[in-house]
Structure 1
Amino acid sequence: MTDPKTAATLAPAPDHLPLPGDALCGRCDSSALGFETTAEITEANGVIGQQRAVEAIDFALGMDKPGYNLFAVGPRGTGKHRLVAGIVQDTARQRPADRDWAYVHNFEDERRPRALALPAGRGAGFDKAMDQLVRDMRAGLATAFGGEDYRNAVQSIQEHVERHQAEALDAMRAKAAEKNISLLSTPMGFGFAPLENGKVMEPEAFNQLPEDARKRIETDIAALQEAMREAMQQMPALLKDVRRKIEELNRETAEFAIGGLIRAVRERYADLADVAAYLDAVQADLKDNIDQFLKGQAPQESGEGKPPSPAPPDPDVFFRRYKVNLIVEHAEGATAPVVFEDEPTYERLIGRIEHRAEMGALVTDFSMIRAGALHRANGGYLILDARKVLMQPLAWEGLKRALRAGEIRIEAVFTAMGLPATNMLEPEGIPLSVKVLLMGEGNVYYPLQAYDPEFSGLFKVLADFDERVVRTDENILKMARLVAARARGDNLKPFHRQAVARLIDDMSREEEDSERLSANVEHLTDLMRESDYLAGKAGREVVMEEDVEAAIDARRRRVSRIAERMQAETVRQTVLVDTAGAMVGQINGLSVYSIGAAAFGKPARITARVWLGRGDVIDIERAVALGGPLHSKGVMILSGYLGAQYSQDMPLSLSATLVFEQSYGGVDGDSASSAELYALLSALADVPIFQHFAVTGSVNQRGQVQAIGGVNEKVEGFFDLCAARGLNGRQGVLIPTANVKHLMLHRRVIDAVRAGQFHIHAVSSIDQGIEILTGVAAGKADDTGAFPPGTINARVAARLHGFAEARQRFGAPPRWETDA
């Protein structure tokens, strides 16, 4: 059996040699880009590898059927807003704008304003025409009703009444005189009194008359009063006739004043039946309500001793009903609208009704109806951020209701909430024909699809944006063109081809894959801006590779305070992590911490202890509720591996504990399961593990090492610790072979690897890894299942066999029971 001390000095087998520097990062060949700086690139295309999404957008825009609205799904920064907007705007240019829309007064029910449609481009002209018509009508009516002809006609009608009244009074006065009775006019009306010597008889004299004389006079006065009453009863009919004649005069005068004005506007819009009908209604309403105008024109009576007269109607208020509230207008020859609503509240989507204060009360009318985004986008396209819509009360339900009904119906928020409201307008609905394009992430789209039964019927098309693209030569050139386009669009300096190559490499690092490129255009643009800034500080007119590198390092520096603090505590040995020597049952695992925008790797000591037991591998993290389910799953896999590998013909009779030392927070994920298995095998074989190595990778029950995430941060985290303590030429990291394609390491690591100061090993099995970590051969079982003596597997099998025998001895009955 090989001595562990001797084993620690063995060199790795040839097939376990570390990866060369060229395998640690995929580099873009700047010479293959075909330009010196981005100023030479004339073609710019912002679409990189999103063909599936482009096809979905084209399909949604082409489908002219209800419900084929689009939801664009993708992480933020992938450029989906810019791509969707670009395609939509190109499509919109090929379509004419829809109708203009206006709200007008409803002369039958002012609480329900009418919606009036006009061909695109004619709404503004009609609005101005009605404003001019109102001004002309006011002037024309003032002239017509202030003229001498009108006054003479009114006076003639009034004189007829006065003559009739005078004739009736004269006849009644003569009839009374025949009875020696006088007709008197008093503040209380008309009365009768007897005469004496041509004068009204005093009451005392009347009382001194003989009784028969008094009765005769009273009988005569009663008869006269009855006759007067009959005469006065004819006056209302006469006055009514006068009013009718004056009203007819007013209507004829108004018709004369405004008929020609309205006729001119009607002829201008003779091809629009709804407009012509509205103008007819305006003309009829004005003639029916001309008395309100006249009241406003009549002077108020005032003077001492007279009660104040009520204020006359305001002509502005009277004529406001004849104006037009144009809520949607298009320029002549305009194309279909494309509307972006960045604050999609209920009212900004559906529209709102404003109010004004009058006499201490809030009032409203059709002129205070305001359009929403759906009105402005009607006949075109509306682009919204799904998350913002969902965050606004009632906005999502209002949008769905409008799409479902194919109509925009404005109502107050109180009404939409089902709360009572008084004196509210109910504007006529406007037909809706719009294509809605929602932007959002998967965590918005999929819950809506699962829990909103109306969602799938209204948004039938999914444009699924990929967060990454394959790193092909074609896509590299597309990204170079994108860099050129963004540099021009943001007024940045030209980028040298080597700077562009460094940007492309960073996009692979962002995706953590040397064979892929991140589609996060926002990340690329931000890095370009920062590189441009640093180039300017350096006095350069072209952004060079060193400027991009400096911007990347500056980014890392800005978010590295916590990482540096944690590393400092490890260097000071407050946190115990060895980077030299060898220990049994102890290994350096690697984990990734994500805090805000910062992600960094941190080594952690993992230890394993074993003893005789019943086959339990105890996850201490899980036992104290610090381990997550994925971590616990990884630990349970270890039991399956041990049982299948070493205990086919005997019970697994060990107890073991595994723990992340000095871990005071939650632990989850299975990326440390291979490290835990190495520590367990080391404890069972009693063979030390080199502490100058750190390990990452998950393991399955067959002992295969599987890929994990965050490989670059993990390697760099251990490298930085070793560098801080001093590189000794032996330190390194074991990673899964499947993760080699994900390596996009920083140049400081690559330079150290090329100098032989640091090593990265790729392993695909536990046997490969344990050989590198211990310098002892793992050993392969022969046909009988036996392992070569002195190998790791032989030592583990022997230890477990010893545990099984010991357990059998402890479980055997006492000797005297056997003898009996």
Structure 2
Amino acid sequence: MDQEQFVLTPQQLRPRTNLDALAFGNTSEIEPLDRIIGQDRAIQAIDFGIDIDSAGYNIFAVGPAGSGRTTVVRQFLEQRASLRPAPQDWCYVNNFRDARYPQALALLCGESKVLRSEMDALIVQLRRDIPMAFEGEVFEQRRREIILAMQRQQMMLYQELEAYLRERSFTLIRGESRMVIAPIAEGQPLTDEQYEKLPDKVKTRYENFRPEIQEQFGKTMRLTRQLERNGRQALEKVTRDIAGFVVDQSLADLMSKYANTKVAEFLTAVREDAISNAQNLIAPAEAQPLLLGREAPRDRFLENYRVNVLTESQTCDFAPIVIEDNPTYANLIGRIEHRAEFGTMVTDFTQIRAGSLHRANGGYLVVEAKNLLSNPLAWDALKRSLRSRQIKIEEMVSFYGVVTTVSLEPEPIPLDVKVVIIGDEQLYELLYTYDEDFAELFKIKAQFVSQVTKDAEILEDYARFVAGLCRKEGLLHFTRDAVAYVIDAASRLVEDQKRLSTRMAQVADIIREAAYYAQKAGHNLVEVEDVRRSMMERIYRQDHTAERYRETIEDAVIKIDVQGSHVGQINGLSVIQALGWQFGIPSRVSAQTFIGRRGVVSIDREVKMSGPIHDKGQLILSSYLEACFAQKSPLSISATITFEQLYTGVEGDSASSTELYAILSSLAEAPIRQDLAVTGSVNQFGQIQAIGGVNAKVEGFFDVCQRLGLTGTQGVLIPSANVQHLMLREDVVEAVEAGKFRVYAVDTIEQGIELLTGVPAGEVDEQGNYPEGSIFARVSAKLEEYRGLLEKIAQQTNAAPEKALRDCAQDKLEEPPSA
């Protein structure tokens, strides 16, 4: 077999993008891109979700970070918002029937600020005009008349009572705090001592009068109190009449302006309250002391007339767009603040604060899924609001069973909002599977993809994207060849020669860094060498962990051979993920084969250091061995395989072909070249299947070989299906061009084992035999030898082969040590 047919050319390792079809010398000559690259499906879904007004058609934008999710959503919302009217303003005002339940008022856009100013002015006016009205002569004259009339009537009642008492030898003694009825003799009230010295007959006469005197006294007192009540009522009526006149004058314009609206109901309640509390403004200020620096109580009732503007549009030209970066419960639904008074936390309607749902009401709300779900209560609160179509502000303490001195239950506000949640596929699937409300509330899935097919239109879009970023951020413009190199870098991001990354945030970073190095080098335009340098510098900044690993190989702490040949030993390849960076490392895979029928045993599996996909791959290679070598008789083999000096566990099936090569080498006693490393999974028919991380794996082995010394024979075997995924680093491609390194692409185990051992695998004939000297013939011979030995042991021990083998092994263990 000609091994050269499997060698890949430098062009296959990193195809170069050709932009000759685009007529520009540098990006300053082309128009910037005005759309997102490769997200047509997501754009259509968002367009539909925004336009439809039915309930539940909120949007969940799914895709990887940097794929343009937020940008697309923002662009579409800005377009739609400009076509929708601005929403109403919302305010909270005092509920004069029960202050615990503040009332919500809706006003036309911009009117909330006006009403707030008008009510603030009304408070100032009432505070000034009401006291002035009661300082006039009219009120004072009417007050005096009422008081004098009441006093005259009371005096007449007392005079009648005194006359009544004198007729019965009693008198009325009026003190400062009470009145006493006492008997008299010779015109003078009797003391208690004098009264006791009276004859019994006289005292009896006095006592006989007491019941009717007490009744008459009580009647007089009742009439007196009635006169006082009538006087107070008369004074209150006068006060209400005058206060009513002042208040009506102050409210006339507002009542006319807001007639037939809910604001008019509020103004009516303000009128009644102001008239009822007008007396508080008449009381002398010196009789109303300040409390701990706060306003005097006589003014406090006026604060109930203020308007707490909850939401007010910045502009009345279009609907609002709110992007909530920290969607806590309070930031989303709103909150009720408290203030301390005499060591107690209290609140009122002026302490109610809006959430992002209030600000987005009538428009659009955008939140990140991970932020929303990481905040306790926020997700449930959002769902509750969307289901009920209203925003109900509740105090957070109520969810934890904490009671405050003053609590509020503001009137819920009707909700009309389109919510867009931005997240990844995993969060979407979790919510869809485990949250029964999710599918009903978020019916639109906008799927953003991470890659797009590379075609002429996309290439032009990429060039225009580079041009747009350069203009927007003031970067040096790129030459056409530099743009082509950026596109190659975008292919490397997705590890596919035929596709490009749509995670434009990552591509933008490449552009920025290349422009930085071009400017540092004093270039007028960004050249290919600047883009290449930015890529190599990025690798260098993140390559610390991989560099330490290569040092351990160079110091022979981790044993890896890159020259020579060994039986049952091969270089496998793994990918390590470290803090957003991945790199490939070679690992020695070893195999031992011996008599037995345990089959292939993975040491890593036995000690529970392997994952299920790796274990599946191991079972598949066992199936392949049986299909090839157990057609005439059962497979008589025990084999062990392991990844040497790998202590972090093994997962994935990309080493299943590598493990199979090691077993075949051990059985055939055919040395495997150590200057080659292998990756690729195998199926039950011996076909080599594609794996992930092919670029990192090839580069990882190249870096080790380069450190230990390139010989020109070193290389990597990869699946042919992975050739399209190769976008290797420039230094690897240059080494291949110089004949210092090779990459082979194979389709089958047979091709791979011949490359590794230099011996043909052999093709089975009609009798089921393999050509003499071939790898498979040597394997078959070894297996036949094992089977014969097993049968011989069975005959000697008169037991089944498996039991005979176990007994033999047990006897061996129990032999006494030799002297």
* TM-score w.r.t. length of structure 2: 0.91
Q: Amino acid of the residue matched to residue 461 of structure 1?
A: I
1:119 maps to 108
2:271 maps to 283
1:344 maps to 327
Task: Report the secondary structure of 1:469's partner residue.
Answer: strand
1:553 to 536, 555, 579: 536
2:10 maps to 21
2:59 maps to 70
Tell me, in whole angstroms, the C-alpha distance in 2 between the residues paired with 1:750 and 1:671.
23
Tell me, in whole angstroms, the C-alpha distance in 2 between the residues paired with 1:312 and 1:679.
90
Q: Contact (CA 8 Å) 1:72, 1:464: kept in 2 or not? A: yes
Please say which of residues 684-693 and 414-423 is displaced more in the overlay: 414-423
Task: Report the secondary structure of 2:305's partner residue.
Answer: coil
Tell me, in whole angstroms, the C-alpha distance in 1 between the residues paired with 2:197 and 2:651.
127
Deviation, structure 1 residue 592: 1.2
Tell me, in whole angstroms, the C-alpha distance in 2 between the residues paired with 1:355 and 1:781.
87
1:800 to 761, 783, 798: 783
2:447 to 461, 464, 468: 464
Structure 1 portions without partners, runs of 5+: 1-11, 303-307, 816-820
1:394 maps to 377
Tell me, in whole angstroms, the C-alpha distance in 1 between the residues paired with 2:508 and 2:479.
16
State the identity %.
43
Deviation, structure 1 residue 261: 2.1
Tell me, in whole angstroms, the C-alpha distance in 1 between the residues paired with 2:299 and 2:486.
65
Q: 1:590-609, aligned counterparts within 5 Å?
A: 590-609=573-592
Tell me, in whole angstroms, the C-alpha distance in 2 between the residues paired with 1:748 and 1:196.
135
CA, structure 1 residues 624+420, in 2 after alignment: closer, same or farther (shift >3 Å)? same
Q: Contact (CA 8 Å) 1:403, 1:458: kept in 2 or not? A: yes
Q: Contact (CA 8 Å) 1:612, 1:803: kept in 2 or not? A: yes
1:103 maps to 92
Q: Amino acid of the residue matched to residue 385 of structure 2?
A: A
Tell me, in whole angstroms, the C-alpha distance in 2 between the residues paired with 1:140 and 1:516.
78
1:766 maps to 749
Q: Deviations over 1:525-577 (max 9, x none)?
A: 22233333333333345333322222221221122122112112212322222
Task: Report the secondary structure of 2:287's partner residue.
Answer: coil
Deviation, structure 1 residue 512: 1.0
Task: Report the secondary structure of 1:234's partner residue.
Answer: helix
CA, structure 1 residues 661+194, in 2 after alignment: closer, same or farther (shift >3 Å)? closer
Q: Deviations over 1:747-802 (max 9, x none)?
A: 11111111111111111111111222222222222333332222222222232233
CA, structure 1 residues 814+671, in 2 after alignment: closer, same or farther (shift >3 Å)? closer
Tell me, in whole angstroms, the C-alpha distance in 1 between the residues paired with 2:607 and 2:315.
73
Deviation, structure 1 residue 173: 4.8
Is the aligned partner of 1:253 residue 2:251?
Answer: no
Q: 1:708-723, aligned counterparts within 5 Å?
A: 708-723=691-706
Q: Contact (CA 8 Å) 1:293, 1:313: kept in 2 or not? A: no
Size of the alignment, in residue pairs?
796
Q: Deviations over 1:469-496 (max 9, x none)?
A: 1122211222222223333334433333
Tell me, in whole angstroms, the C-alpha distance in 2 between the residues paired with 1:93 and 1:478.
27
2:287 maps to 300
1:37 to 14, 21, 26: 26
Q: Contact (CA 8 Å) 2:127, 2:299: kept in 1 or not? A: no
CA, structure 1 residues 198+506, in 2 after alignment: closer, same or farther (shift >3 Å)? same
CA, structure 1 residues 713+180, in 2 after alignment: closer, same or farther (shift >3 Å)? closer
Task: Report the secondary structure of 2:174's partner residue.
Answer: strand
Tell me, in whole angstroms, the C-alpha distance in 2 between the residues paired with 1:568 and 1:766.
32
Q: Contact (CA 8 Å) 1:45, 1:478: kept in 2 or not? A: no
Q: Deviations over 1:681-731 (max 9, x none)?
A: 222222222221111111111110111111111111111122222222211
Tell me, in whole angstroms, the C-alpha distance in 1 between the residues paired with 2:137 and 2:342.
37
1:480 maps to 463
1:583 maps to 566
Q: Deviations over 1:655-697 (max 9, x none)?
A: 2221222222311211111122122222222222222111111
2:666 maps to 683
Deviation, structure 1 residue 17: 4.1
Task: Report the secondary structure of 2:55's partner residue.
Answer: coil
2:432 maps to 449
Is the aligned partner of 1:263 residue 2:246?
Answer: no
Task: Report the secondary structure of 1:321's partner residue.
Answer: helix
Task: Report the secondary structure of 2:663's partner residue.
Answer: helix
1:234 maps to 223
Deviation, structure 1 residue 605: 1.7
2:809 maps to none
Q: 1:608-623, aligned counterparts within 5 Å?
A: 608-614=591-597, 616-623=599-606
2:399 maps to 416
CA, structure 1 residues 751+214, in 2 after alignment: closer, same or farther (shift >3 Å)? closer
Tell me, in whole angstroms, the C-alpha distance in 1 between the residues paired with 2:796 and 2:670.
35
Deviation, structure 1 residue 811: 3.0
Tell me, in whole angstroms, the C-alpha distance in 2 between the residues paired with 1:789 and 1:119.
95
2:143 maps to 154
Please say which of residues 202-211 and 695-704 is displaced more in the overlay: 202-211
Tell me, in whole angstroms, the C-alpha distance in 2 between the residues paired with 1:418 and 1:196.
74
Deviation, structure 1 residue 237: 1.1
CA, structure 1 residues 208+644, in 2 after alignment: closer, same or farther (shift >3 Å)? closer
RMSD over aligned Cα, in angstroms?
Answer: 2.8
Q: Contact (CA 8 Å) 1:293, 1:318: kept in 2 or not? A: no
Q: Contact (CA 8 Å) 1:16, 1:768: kept in 2 or not? A: no
1:429 to 396, 412, 418: 412
1:370 to 342, 350, 353: 353
Q: Deviations over 1:792-817 (max 9, x none)?
A: 222222322333333333334689xx
Q: Deviations over 1:312-344 (max 9, x none)?
A: 952442101111111011256331111111111
Q: Contact (CA 8 Å) 1:534, 1:551: kept in 2 or not? A: yes
1:7 maps to none
Tell me, in whole angstroms, the C-alpha distance in 1 between the residues paired with 2:755 and 2:202.
152
Q: Contact (CA 8 Å) 2:150, 2:227: kept in 1 or not? A: yes
2:472 maps to 489
Tell me, in whole angstroms, the C-alpha distance in 2 between the residues paired with 1:214 and 1:409.
77
Tell me, in whole angstroms, the C-alpha distance in 2 between the residues paired with 1:680 and 1:228.
124
Q: Contact (CA 8 Å) 1:468, 1:517: kept in 2 or not? A: yes
Deviation, structure 1 residue 27: 1.9
Deviation, structure 1 residue 191: 4.5
Structure 2 portions without partners, runs of 5+: 799-819
1:84 maps to 73
Task: Report the secondary structure of 1:106's partner residue.
Answer: coil
CA, structure 1 residues 497+150, in 2 after alignment: closer, same or farther (shift >3 Å)? farther
Deviation, structure 1 residue 105: 0.8
CA, structure 1 residues 212+687, in 2 after alignment: closer, same or farther (shift >3 Å)? closer
Deviation, structure 1 residue 91: 1.1
Task: Report the secondary structure of 1:71's partner residue.
Answer: strand
1:6 maps to none
Please say which of residues 28-37 and 88-97 is displaced more in the overlay: 28-37
Q: Amino acid of the residue matched to residue 763 of structure 1?
A: V
Please say which of residues 801-810 and 184-193 is displaced more in the overlay: 184-193
1:563 maps to 546
1:703 to 676, 686, 691: 686
Task: Report the secondary structure of 2:318's partner residue.
Answer: coil
* TM-score w.r.t. length of structure 1: 0.91
Q: Contact (CA 8 Å) 1:615, 1:652: kept in 2 or not? A: no
2:484 maps to 501
